Structure 1
Amino acid sequence: MQTFARLLLTAVAGMLVVAAGHGVAAAPAASVAHSQLPWLSPEPDGVQAPGAALAEGIAGTVLWSRQPNTPVPIASITKVMTALVVINAGDLDRTITVPQEIVAYCTRYDGSNAGLVPGEVLTARQLLYAMLLPSGCDAAYTLAEAYGPGQDEFIATMNDTARHMGLAGTHFTDPSGLPAPTDHSTYSTPADLVALGLRAMSLPAFRDIVSSQSYHLPAGPGNRDHLWQTTNLLLHDYPGTIGIKTGYTDAAGTCLLFETVRAGIPLIGVVLHSSPDSDVAAKDDAERMLNWVYNPILSVLPIS
């Protein structure tokens, strides 16, 4: 890890300094293996998202950002905190019965779901797959109900966790990120979400789930057959992607929290409201940000 840290600092030093929400570009003077890194611009071109941040994936040092400390709705990226609370609580092999209330909950807010049926019995780990891959609000509600216990207690734990992590621009009122009670009552900032993503990705159980393109749960004595597929287009399309979570509501637009590793270099970032409704726009924003860092490095380190 120290070798990587030195490599990344060498690659980025003299190229970019980011401070307190304002990007300040320096000359492209860094070199790797005595080669000049051809950084062509002081920031990634064509990023549509009004809120965004990109950081190295070890200490979370921000390399570029846009409105990093502005709180905005984050939709289902909220489920990263829900997963963090559940995994921290432990006992992921405990069995949980899906409550009847998921039907009204998902219907009321037109939330995405994992096709769960009240009365099914799944483990907490299986419910994490149901929540994080197809972005199942039914799974998020079920986990919150079990681990709170109850929604109010669980949401309080989410906010306590955010506070202990120093995420001053973050607040939760729902375990799914749905507009409950209002469009803007659950919110965060690009800088906070990078920190949250970094913490979640340090947990093997979380990392294993969000790096999966799909998960098949065969029918059993207490559950139906389920096949859950990720909503994260980067996992299909961008080399080195290892997670993590999409989001969409009318107020949040399309959002994506993501992490990749190429040439041994992890990067973590987020885009918020890339488009009113296009998941592809969020993916494209993320790719532009990632390529801005990786392409110059890969041009002198021929590793894909």
Structure 2
Amino acid sequence: MMSMRIGRLMGSVVVALVVGFSSPAMAAQEPAVSAKVAYVIDSVGTVHFGKRETKRVPVASLVKIMTAYVVLQEARPGDTVKVTATDVTYAARGGAATAGLRKGERFTVRDLLYALMLPSGADAANALARHYGPGKTAFVAKMNRTARALGLTDTRYTNADGMPTPANGGYSTAVDQAKLAQHALENDLFTTVVGTRTHKVAKTAVHRAHTWRNTNKLLSRADGVLGVKTGYTNAAGHCLLFAGERDGVRIVGVLLGESKDERRFSTAERLLDHAGGQLALG
């Protein structure tokens, strides 16, 4: 009888030790995320983190990822687009980030994609949308058709730049944005653009010299980072869609509704490391 009691006691101790050891370790591995919405998935389909990932929310300038994606379906990188006064005044009047484009300048689509994705130029977004709609209304319709074709069932676009609209505002989810990024990163030019820290265009007869710097600080803070896009409006908060590679596997993450600019980058770095650690464990 005594030996049976001792056996039961030892079994309980072993279970307690196992539970006590594994649970805190597992909890410690998952980073704290203050953003309202978050999601991390890899190219194999493993979900490494989720927080309200299917909630419909505004995504600010992450909208420009779809703008670039639609343009890349129709345009050739060497095609040229002329900037109009409307492109410039729209961005300036709305208080949006701009690439400093001027009326009458002409750029290749390749250069306008850098202007769109690095400094998050609303002027570049509107120039591209107007040209490849043709017209902004037609272009937004293309964005929404493309979203449906890609299976982004919880996404709706109302413009090409992500600025708030007075009524019927656009929205998406972290799951949809991650899915979109996975498709967009299949395009080599897109991947090159979003992974570039600084892009310069020399002065020519049709445009001034420009230097555009990437707003994505993660590119200089972690190894293997591929991009992708930052965003901010009062309604959306600080947003970040990021991608990186760990152990040969592509990881895509989304942070929406972060209250602090800097924290989205440090959180993204931790989430990439977290996903990489899980991949290493198999």
Q: TM-score range by the shorter chain?
A: 0.7 to 0.9
In the TM superposition, residue 180 of structure 1 has moved relative to its aligned partner by 2.3
Counterpart for residue 82 of structure 2:
97
Q: What percentage of residue pairs aligned between the two structures are identical?
A: 38
CA drift of 1:41 comes to 2.5
User: In the aligned structure 2, how far is the partner of 1:266 from the partner of 1:39?
Assistant: 25
| Offset, 1:291 | 1.9
Residue type of the partner of 1:253? G
Q: By how many angstroms is 1:150 displaced?
A: 0.4
Distance 2:53 2:97 in 1: 27
2:158 is aligned with 1:173: yes
Q: Which amino acid aligns with 2:224?
A: G
Q: 1:150 to 1:59 in 2, by over 3 A?
A: farther
What SS does the aligned partner of 1:247 have? strand
* Residues 36 and 256, structure 2, Cα contact 8 Å, conserved in 1: yes
- Judge conservation of contact 2:88–2:101 (CA < 8 Å) in 1: no
SS in 2 for 1:209: helix
Please tell me the root mean square deviation across aligned C-alpha atoms, in Å.
2.0
* Cα distance in 2 between the residues matched to 1:172 and 1:93: 27
Partner of 1:217: 201
CA 1:76–1:156: 2 relative to 1, 3 Å: same
Map 1:81-160 onto structure 2 (within 5 A).
81-160=66-145
Match of residue 217, structure 2, among 206, 212, 233: 233
Residue 43 of structure 1 and its aligned partner are, at CA, apart by: 6.5
**Structure 2: how far apart are the matches of 1:242 and 1:45?**
21
**1:51 aligned residue (34, 37, 43):** 37
- Report the 3-state secondary structure (helix = DSSP H, G, I; strand = E; otherwise coil) of the residue aligned with 1:158: helix
* Distance in 2, Cα, partners of 1:263 & 1:121: 42
Greater fraction of residues in helix: 2
Are residue 244 (structure 1) and residue 246 (structure 2) matched?
no
Residue 145 to residue 268, structure 1, CA distance change in 2 (3 Å)? same
Length, aligned pairs only: 260
CA deviations over 1:2-50 (Å, ceiling 9, x no partner): xxxxxxxxxxxxxxxxxxxxxxxxx9xxxxxxxxxx9632862221111
Deviation per CA, 1:262-293: give whole Å up to 9, x if none. 33222111000111xx3211112212211222
SS in 2 for 1:244: strand
Where structure 1 has 5 or more consecutive residues not aligned to the other structure, the ranges are 1-26, 28-37
Shift of 1:59: 4.3
- 1:292 paired residue among 270, 274, 277: 274
Where structure 2 has 5 or more consecutive residues not aligned to the other structure, the ranges are 1-18
